[in-house]
Structure 1
Amino acid sequence: MAGFDDITKKARAFLKDGKVQEALKSEKAEGVSDNILDAVASAADKATGGKHADKIQQAKEQADKKLGNQ
């Protein structure tokens, strides 16, 4: 488990870096997250035959609020 702990520490340090934080808040990152959420929502909607489209849309909007740079 020592290797995993080392990777975790490095990942945390990376994410705390100011330049990384700025990149995550950029418009480009927002666009990428929007594209991913759209694809996931579309796949979930297709998998459920559209039966849960409203709930999928709500979940997508909530996720976008958490991930977005608003």
Structure 2
Amino acid sequence: MGIFDRFKSNRQMQDKAKDMSDAAERKVNERTGDKYENQVDEAQQRIEGQLGMDRDRPEQP
């Protein structure tokens, strides 16, 4: 079992990672004056998807 498998199965870690991802998105948008808001959002979604944290997927028990 790799580190990402453990991450995907740990709900607390995923919630914390989502909070951190949102904070990073806000900070980047704040610093760039929302100039790259769409690109930042797309990058955030792509990264979260690769980590198995898709926000559009229903919550798993």
Q: Above 0.5 in TM-score?
A: yes
Q: Which has the larger radius of gyration?
A: 1
Q: Which of these residues, 34, 37, 43, is aligned with residue 21 of structure 2?
A: 37
Q: TM-score, normalization: structure 1?
A: 0.62
- Checking the alignment, whether the CA contact within 8 Å between 1:45 and 1:53 is kept in structure 2 is yes
The runs of at least 4 consecutive aligned structure 1 residues that moved more than 6 Å come to none
Q: Structure 1, residues 4-35: CA drift from partner, whole Å, max 9, x if none?
A: xxxxxxxxxxx848xxx53x221111101101
Gap runs ≥5 in structure 1: 1-14
More helix by share: 1
2:31 maps to 47
Percentage identity across aligned positions?
Answer: 17
Root-mean-square deviation (CA, aligned residues, Å) is: 2.3
